[in-house]
Amino acid sequence: MAEFEPKILAFCCNWCSYAGADLAGVSRLQYPPNIRIIRVMCSGRVEPEFVVKALSLRADGVLILGCHIGDCHYIYGNHRTKKRMAILERILGYLGIDPARVRLEWVSASEGARFAEVVRQFTEEIKKLGPNPLKEVRA
Amino acid sequence: MIENIRDLARKWLESKEVDAIFGLKEQDGGVAPYLFTGRVNGISELGKLTTSTQYRRLCYTCRPSKDNILSLMQRREPNMKIGIVARGCEERALVELAKRGQIDLEKIKIMGIACSQEEAKECKCERPYPNNLVIGERVEGVSGDENINALLSKSLPERLAFWRHELSKCIKCYGCRDACPMCFCKDCKMEQKIFTETGSLPPEIPMFLFIRFYHISERCIGCGECEKACPVDIPLLTIFRQLRRDMKDLFDYEAGIAVEQESPLLTTLDESPMRKEVTSGV
Amino acid sequence: MEYKNVLTTCPYCGCGCNFYLQVLDGKLIGILPCKSHPVSQGKLCIKGLNAGDFVTSKDRLTKPLIKRNGKFTDISWDEALFLVAKKLKEYKESYGPDSIAVLSSAKCTNEENYLMMKFARAVLGTNNVDHCARLCHASTVVGLVQSFGSGAMTNSIRELEDADCILVIGSNTPEQHPLIARYILRAKEKGAKIIVADPRSITLVQFADYHLRHRPGTDVALFNGMMNVILNEGLEDKEFIKERTEGIEELKEVVKKYTPEYVEQITGVPKDILVDAARTYAKAERASIIYSMGITQHTTGVDNVRSSANLAMLTGNLGKPSTGVNPLRGQVNVQGACDMGALPNVYSGYQNVVDEKAREKFGNAWKVKLPEKPGLTIIEMMNEAAKGNIKAMYIMGENPMVSDPDISHVKEGLEKLEFLVVQDIFLTETAQLADVVLPGACYAEKEGTFTSTERLVQMVRKAIEPPGESKADWEIICSLAKAMGSKEFEYVSPAEIMDEIASFTLSYGGMSYDRLQKGGLAWPCPSKEHPGTPYLHKEKFSRANGKGKFFGIEFKEPAELPDEEYPFILSTGRIIFHFHTGTMTRRTELLNKEVPTGYVEIAHIDAARLGIGAGEFVSVQTRRGQIKTKALITERVPEGMIFIPFHFAECAANVLTNPAFDPVAKIPEYKVCAARIEKVKVS
Ligand code: SF4
Ligand code: SF4
Ligand code: SF4
Ligand code: FES
């Protein structure tokens, strides 16, 4: 059987993380190709529903990347993200979806290497977790 | 106890402390919420004022306008002072509604009543009394641990299987949402195609009900109306109960206790820091 | 400020849920579930929870309308009634009473149905009165009367919860009768075995122990197969058969050849599954059968119904709690409309019009000589109208232009009429064809009673005033009768009408508003002291000799089978989000959001073969007509079958359906016809 290649969705905020991803690209840093990026203006734009919808539509993992606390372009956007994701993870756990499939990380515009590292690590982790069980539920 | 409630209601009406009493009325072989007004016949109708375990709460959201009945009344007659016979959960609902700008508590006088031990047991209510206790004796809360522990003792795949079974029963009646005092959004996401498939049964698992789990997570006052409204007995309250604990755990927050206490989802990390680092519920 | 809650009965399906209408200063502001109600227990389905929407719709009719030069204009009530009375009198006199036909309504109250049939018989002098029960459960009324002597659900809804086995056949219960499905699921939690027999993989299948996916229209073979197994293995209830039934030999004779192998050939149900299901049903202490339109809407509808009765009698599953044969009636008051005699052959309480004594009893009371000849059924009315023999029709609260089979033919008939009066709350597809339209009041605006599928008679209470000049249907019928010169319609309130019903109808004999105000009563309730009857046939059956009767029934194929030209089996039905012809649900915001328009369900494999993609437009054709609609590709239907919900006038399934009907019950075969489906080329 071919090795499981997870599908990973990443929400990157426009001002830091997306720029970080860009930098990783420009610097030709290697990171796994499993990731698809959706650019949002701020990590605070990411509603927990987006994450669950992504999982429901068969993503194996979801990354939410924003500016470090204190650096958010909208000042408190990422404060909200952090609180929301905490609740989201709990609910996912109760429903039987491994919260490890969702990860919130802060990546600044200058952290191209960190971006690549986060993606690499997360992809590894999702490979270990295996395919998203919701795929079967929704089959 | 019911005589005390009627007497006090009469006193409030006669002294014009309130213009009307919002309470339960005996009718048609059952009970239903009713507004007893200060008019003569309103006062004489007080003989029908009652309490019942069936409608522990009175302030439901009215559809299709999606307004709470109290906000509708207040909008219609902003100066009217309404007295309301409120159990613990009702009072918590009022506090939370006021906090979220739905009703004006200034114009509401709460006649807090305590639930009996049996009543508390039926609901597995953790706080079977209001802050403004006026009538009745306060009894200790009952824990709803059993269901929660049963869920938490399951492995992740077992939990998923459990919810897959339960949520497959859902007939998308929206009854849980309609019964919830905290579900008053004019534009409910549960109805929106981009979030959850429309027209299919069972509704998208787990998306459809997740929307409510998340939206109500920090405002749930634990009244249990959602679960009681469910025609297929999905144990919705198990999750909401646990989430109420999580709110304490994560943000040291409890919905429905004080109007001044702001929702942690509306404040910054500086204003109300998180108690713990992001941890999963596993 | 005035805020009150008015308890009433849900206007949609036959579950008979109750809820409160919330009224603030005379305006309807919402629906509140009623927690003390025995069936609904504070729970409702999406239709019930939104049953306030259409009431306040701006499309409501508020004034009588008359069509002049093809356009509707307002007229006054006096003019309208005068005109209708004059016209009806003219037709009665010049062409005879039987040139007029009347459609009553399963959406109206018992009192209104009673008045409507009284109006047809006593004022017009014709037995040409029918209603949509013809289209859903006529075969139940006929079939169960033959088997048991009474054509209604034998047991009550809540008893289901304690059954050990439930056989659900031809009923998509979770969608059609959600609050009954609740009790099936509860039984399941308590350990009951669930058998679902349905060609479609309905949501209940997920909770079923057995799914018998038989070919549409082969129900008789399936039942015979189960009985064959039961008899072979000696699982029948010998004592019950001996004491309480007759005709077992006839049954044995016929059933003999329906071996599991043979039945597998006919139905496509693997024989092992059939055998297991038969054993499970037979061995259960208390087994219930639930069926609905999947059984009745066939040319063999009566056969199907009697077969289910055979199976229940064979295993002694009657006359006890949590057992029985339970037809789920679709419309809120279809049970009541039948009970009230809005049928061409019976008065209230199923007293036959050909029975001289009954005729005399009613004739004396109403001070007229009543017609003897049974009248026409809906489909016959349309046929006769098309032929020009029916000249005038009075339709109350029905929409045959969407609900009846072969709509083009219905349209032809209605257009041919010289005079058509429609009484409704909206300008329905049918009302648009009318010469005069009379605005009725809806359930929230009038008083009366509905009889739910479990024979429970419950109050409908007035919460708000009807819009504009519209009036309660019972008032309109009375005014019209008076305008035609009758003196027998002097009622001041529906309570009085109920008293009259009670005095002529044994099963309703003990009913009165005083009693009903305190809660529902299940008929038979023959006297003031009688508490009502949750389950029937306890000691004896209602047939004349008190015995249940077995019928040996051979399997017959549906009237129209797929062939080369029309290779698919087309079946039609309802979905949870809409109701019947959609007049109410399609004016409800949330329901429209869920399902805005119609579609056709088709299996993946068929869609792939025909190159049809999800959501693409297809054309569905039968020998009657064709419609354009969207494809929904799903595993719900098996290969070779397509399914269309019939609620949507713009892609009306009933343009396609076959009006071939059961020879006795005259119910049309909505559930099977041959169809062709192809992708619509985008030009
Ligand atoms: S218990 Fe249910 S109905 Fe009550 S507030 Fe919480 S979510 Fe809403
Ligand atoms: S009340 Fe129950 S069935 Fe209705 S939408 Fe909520 S979970 Fe689904
Ligand atoms: S189940 Fe039937 S009676 Fe009950 S709310 Fe739904 S439509 Fe109304
Ligand atoms: S802008 Fe980057 S997190 Fe808000």
Tell me the three-class secondary structure of C499-516, residue by residue.
Answer: HHHHHHCHHHCCCCHHHH
Mean of the pLDDT values across residues C113-131?
Answer: 93
Alpha-carbon span C508 to C111, nearest angstrom: 12
Distance between CA atoms of C460 and C448, rounded to whole angstroms?
A: 5
Atom of ligand 3 nearest to the CA of C13: 2
Q: How far apart are CA B239 and CA A88, in angstroms?
A: 12
Residues in chain B closer than 8 A to C190 (CB atoms) = none
Query: Can you tell me the ipTM of this complex?
Result: 0.93
CATH 2.40.40.20 is right for the domain spanning C568-679? yes
Measured CA to CA, the distance from residue C652 to residue C659 in angstroms comes to: 15
Nearest atom (ligand 1) to Cα of B222? 1
> Could you tell me if the CB of B221 is within 6 A of ligand 1?
yes
The pick from B220, B228, B242 for probing ligand 1's pocket by mutation, whose C-beta has the most ligand atoms within 8 angstroms, reads B220
pLDDT in tens, B188-200: 999 999 999 898 8
Within 10 angstroms of residue A27's Cβ, the number of other Cβ atoms is 11
pLDDT mean over C24-45: 92
Q: Please indicate if any CB of chain C lies within 8 Å of the CB of B54.
A: yes
Q: Between chains, do C49 and B174 touch, taking CB under 8 Å as contact?
A: yes
CB contact under 8 A, B60 and C30: yes
Short-list C393, C35, C309, C231, CA closest to B60: C35
Instruction: Report percent pLDDT > 70 for chain B.
Output: 96
pLDDT at A138: 55
Task: Judge if the beta carbon of residue B115 lies within 6 A of ligand 1.
Answer: no
pLDDT at B274: 82
Nearest residue (by CA) to ligand 1, atom 5, is B220
Using the 8-state DSSP alphabet, how is residue C75 labeled?
Answer: -
* Whole-number pLDDT of residue C234: 93
Q: Whose CA is nearest to atom 2 of ligand 1?
A: B226
Which residues in chain C touch residue B191, judged by CB atoms under 8 angstroms apart?
A: 590, 593
Q: How far apart are CA C513 and CA C499, in angstroms?
A: 8
**End-to-end Cα distance, chain C:** 60
pLDDT per residue over B106-146, tens digit each? 999 999 999 999 999 888 888 899 999 999 999 998 887 78
Provide the pLDDT for residue C579. Answer: 86
Answer whether residue A18 is part of any domain: yes
Percentages (nearest 5) of helix, strand, coil residues in chain A: 45, 15, 35
- Asked if the Cβ–Cβ distance from C181 to B232 is below 8 Å, we say yes
Distance of alpha carbon C292 from alpha carbon C169, whole angstroms: 7
Name A13's Cβ contacts closer than 8 Å, sequence gap at least 6: A39, A40, A41, A42, A43, A45, A65, A66, A67, A72, A73, A77, A78
Q: What percent of chain C has pLDDT over 90?
A: 67
Report the range of poorest mean pLDDT among A120-124, C335-339, C408-412, C550-554. Answer: C408-412
| Chain B CB contacts of C186 below 8 Å | 233
> Could you list the residue range(s) of the whole structural domain that residue A108 is in?
13-126
**Nearest 5°: phi and psi at B4?**
-60, -40
Pairwise CA distance, residues C498 & C508, whole Å: 9
CB of residue C178 inside a 6 A radius of ligand 3: yes
Per the CB < 8 Å rule, is A87 touching B243?
A: yes
Taking only the tens place, the pLDDT of each residue in C267-286 is: 999 999 999 999 999 999 99
Instruction: Note whether B198 contacts C519, CB cutoff 8 Å.
Output: no
pLDDT at residue A137, rounded to an integer: 65
Residue A62 has pLDDT above 80, yes or no: yes
The beta-carbon neighbor of B282 closest among A49, A86, A93 is: A93
Q: What total of structural domains would you count in chain A?
A: 1
> Rounded to a whole number, what is the distance in Å from the CA of B175 to chain C's nearest CA?
7
Whole-number percent of chain B with pLDDT over 90: 65
- Please work out whether the CB of residue C439 comes within 6 Å of at least one atom of ligand 3: no
Report the residue from B55, B64, B228 with minimal CB separation from C589: B64
Residue B70 Cα, gap to closest chain A Cα (Å): 30
Cβ(C10) to ligand 3 under 6 A?
yes
Are the Cβ atoms of B204 and A56 closer than 8 angstroms? Answer: yes
Distance from CA of A3 to the nearest CA of B (A): 22
Give the distance (Å) from ligand 3 centre to CA of residue C52: 13
- Taking the centre of ligand 2 as the mean of its atom positions, its distance from the CA of residue B176, in whole angstroms, is 5
Residue type, C79: E
B121's tokens: 């047991």
Give SS3 for A122. helix
Q: What's the pLDDT band for C254 if we cut at 50, 70, 90?
A: very high
Q: Is the CB of B31 less than 8 angstroms away from the CB of C518?
A: no
Task: Give burial (CB, 10 Å; 0-12/13-18/19+) of B109.
Answer: middle
**With an 8 Å Cβ cutoff, is A139 touching chain B?**
no
- Tell me: pLDDT of C677 over 80: yes
Q: What number is the average pLDDT over the span C109-131?
A: 93
Distance A108 CA to ligand 2 centre (A): 43
Determine the average pLDDT of the residues in C311-333.
91
Q: Measuring CA to CA, which residue among C89, C65, C87 is closest to residue C75?
A: C65
Residue nearest to atom 2 of ligand 2 (CA): B230
Q: Which ligand is nearest to the CA of B242?
A: 1
Question: Which of B201, B225, B230 is the mutation pick for testing C, counting most C CBs within 10 A?
Answer: B201
Exposed (0-12), middle (13-18) or buried (19+): which is A2, by Cβ within 10 Å?
exposed
Note whether residue A107 is domain-resident: yes
Q: In Å, how far is A12's CA from the nearest CA of chain B?
A: 19
Confidence of residue C235 (pLDDT cuts 50, 70, 90): very high
| Residue A68 near chain B (CB below 8 Å) | no
A137 chain-B contacts, CB cut-off 8 A: 160, 164, 205
Beta-carbon separation of B77 and C29 below 8 A: no
Question: Closest Cα to residue C60, out of C415, C445, C411, C410?
Answer: C445
* pLDDT the model gives residue B276: 63
What pLDDT band is residue B282 in, cutting at 50, 70 and 90?
very low
Residue A57 touches partner B, C-beta closer than 8 Å: no
Tokens coding C63: 């004034």
Partner B contacted by A85 (CB < 8 A): yes
The reply to whether A131 touches chain B by the CB within 8 Å rule is no
What's the pLDDT at B112?
93
Q: Under a CB-based contact definition with an 8 Å cutoff, are residues B188 and B199 in contact?
A: no
Mean pLDDT within A36-55 = 95
C442 CB within 6 A, ligand 3: no
Ligand 3 atom closest to residue C177's alpha carbon, by position in its atom list: 1
Q: What is the pLDDT of residue C662?
A: 84
| Across A61-78, average pLDDT | 93
* Answer CATH for C139-327 from 3.40.228.10, 3.40.50.300, 2.60.40.1930, 3.40.30.10: 3.40.228.10
Instruction: Classify residue A7 by burial, with Cβ atoms within 10 Å: 0-12, 13-18, 19+.
Output: middle
B214–A76 CB contact, under 8 Å: no
- Mean pLDDT score, C185-190: 94
pLDDT at C374: 92
The closest CB to that of B73, out of C1, C43, C178, belongs to C1
Q: Can you tell me the mean pLDDT for C38-48? A: 92
Per-residue pLDDT band at B279 (split at 50, 70, 90): very low
- CA of B61 to nearest chain C CA: how many angstroms apart? 8
In whole numbers, what is the pLDDT of chain C averaged over residues?
91
Determine the average pLDDT of the residues in C32-41: 92
Q: Name the pLDDT band for B280 (thresholds 50, 70, 90).
A: very low
Strand runs labelled E in chain B: 20-27, 30-37, 49-50, 61-62, 67-68, 82-86, 108-113, 133-135
- Shortest CA distance to A37 belongs to which of A19, A52, A49? A19
Tell me the pLDDT band of B91, cut-offs 50, 70 and 90: very high
C17 lines ligand 3 (CB under 6 A): yes
Sequence-ordered alpha helix ranges (H) in A29-111:
48-56, 77-95
B contacts of C595 (beta carbons < 8 Å): 198-199
The 10s digit of each residue's pLDDT in C203-226 is 999 999 999 999 989 999 999 999
Instruction: Classify C616 as helix, strand or coil.
Output: coil
According to the model, what pLDDT value does residue B41 have? 66
Query: Is pLDDT of A139 > 60?
Result: no
Contacts of B213 (CB under 8 A, 6+ apart): A91, B239, B240, B243
pLDDT of residue C538: 84
In a domain, A111, yes or no: yes
CATH number, domain C65-135+332-522: 3.40.50.740
Q: B with C: how many residue pairs have Cβ under 8 Å apart?
A: 139
CB–CB contact B168 C203 (8 Å): yes
Interchain proximity B30–C577, CB inside 8 Å:
no
| CATH number among 2.60.120.330, 3.30.70.990, 1.10.3720.10, 2.20.25.90, domain C3-56 | 2.20.25.90
At C682 the pLDDT is 66
Residue-wise burial string across C224-260, b where 16 or more C-beta atoms lie within 10 A, e elsewhere: bbbbbbbbeeebbbeebbeebbbbbeebbebbeebbb
User: Cis ω on the peptide bond leading into residue B202 (within 30° of 0)?
Assistant: yes
Distance C190 CA to ligand 2 centre (A): 21
Residue C536 confidence class, pLDDT cut points 50, 70, 90: confident
C486-506 per-position pLDDT tens digit: 888 999 999 999 999 999 998
Question: Is residue C281 within a helix (H) or strand (E), and if so which, with residue range?
Answer: helix C271-283
pLDDT per residue over B141-185, tens digit each?
888 778 888 999 999 999 999 999 999 999 999 999 999 999 999
